[in-house]
Structure 1
Amino acid sequence: MSNVSKTNVSNLAPLANSFRLEPALITITNLRLRTYIGFNEEELSKQQDVVINAEIRYQASKACEADSEDLALNYKVITKAMIAHVEQGHFRLLEKLCADLLTLAMEEPRVINASITVDKPHALRFADSVSVTLSGSRNAE
Structure 2
Amino acid sequence: MDRIRIKDLLLRCVVGINDWERKEKQDVLINVELFIDLKKASSKDDISLTLDYKKLKKEIVEYVEKSSPYLIEKIAGDVALICINYEQVRKVVVEVDKPYALRFARSVSVVLEREKSEVYIGLGSNIEPEKNLENALKLLSSFKEIKIKKVSSFYITPSINEWGEEMRNLPYFLNGAIKVQTYFTFDEMSEVLKDIEVKLGRIRSGKSFDPRPIDIDILIWKDSEGVVKFLHKDLLERNFVSSCVFELEPNLLLGEKHILEIVENPKIKVEMKKAENLEFLKRFESV
Structure 2 residue aligned with 1:110: 88
Q: Kindly, what percent of the aligned residue pairs are identical?
A: 36
How does the TM-score come out when normalised to structure 1? 0.81
Question: Which of 51, 57, 62 does residue 79 from structure 1 map onto?
Answer: 57
Question: Which of 10, 13, 32 does residue 35 from structure 1 map onto?
Answer: 13
Q: For 2:117, what is the secondary structure of its paired residue?
A: coil
Question: Which of 99, 113, 116 does residue 135 from structure 1 map onto?
Answer: 113
Shift of 1:65: 2.3
Q: Distance in 2 between matches of 1:113 and 1:77?
A: 18
| Structure 2, gaps ≥5 residues long | 119-221, 223-287
Letter in 1 for 2:32: A
Question: Which of 91, 98, 105 does residue 69 from structure 2 map onto?
Answer: 91
- State which drifts further: 98-107 or 57-66: 57-66
> What does the per-residue CA deviation read over 1:63-118, in whole Å, with 9 as the maximum and x for residues that have no partner?
12221001111111111100000001111011111000000110101101110000
Q: Distance in 2 between matches of 1:35 and 1:89?
A: 6
Larger Rg: 2
Shift of 1:48: 0.2
Flag the structure with higher helix content: 1
Report how many residues are paired. Answer: 119
Structure 2 residue aligned with 1:123: 101
**Segments of 4+ in structure 1 off by > 4 A?**
none
Letter in 2 for 1:100: D
Question: Which of 24, 34, 39 does residue 2 from structure 2 map onto?
Answer: 24
How does the TM-score come out when normalised to structure 2? 0.41
Higher relative contact order (CA 8 A, sep 6+): 1
